[in-house]
Amino acid sequence: MNIPGFTLQGQVVRGKRLGSRLGFPTANIAYNPQSRDWPREGVYIGIAEVLGEGRRYVCILNQGRHPTVPEGTPTVEAHLLGYPHHDLYGRRLTLRYRAFLRPEITFDSLEGLIKQLEQDRLSAVAWARQNDPQLLCGVDEALLPH
């Protein structure tokens, strides 16, 4: 499912740092689900731009309540593939939703979540390869199956 035209801009806020501990660091943007018409909660492939960098990154977006570890408020969190720096706190991001991958799922374990995130990352790489290969610049070669 394509989500053409849905864009979110916001400042990166501190999250639970769970993504970093799992090997999938994310940039979190707080949002109010009642503030506008949002796509349904779930996991998306997107394109991220960090204000002032002039570069785009393919990313995995999770919009919602992160049900496996549900503490905290709803967020949109983005894992930018190939991003060379991990600290984006206070920076402004533009996130463009491009394709719906799946609804949010409650996993039985963090290991199950990691396996799914690895699959989501491969889906994002495949999408970028087909739609905008330039987004793969800087992405680890091990993630680029031939």
Residues assigned a catalytic role: 77
DSSP output for 68-100: TS--S--EEEEEETT-S----TT-EEEEEEEEE
Which positions ≥6 away from 146 have C-beta within 8 Å? none
Contact (Cβ atoms closer than 8 angstroms) between residue 46 and residue 96: yes
Beta partners for 64?
75
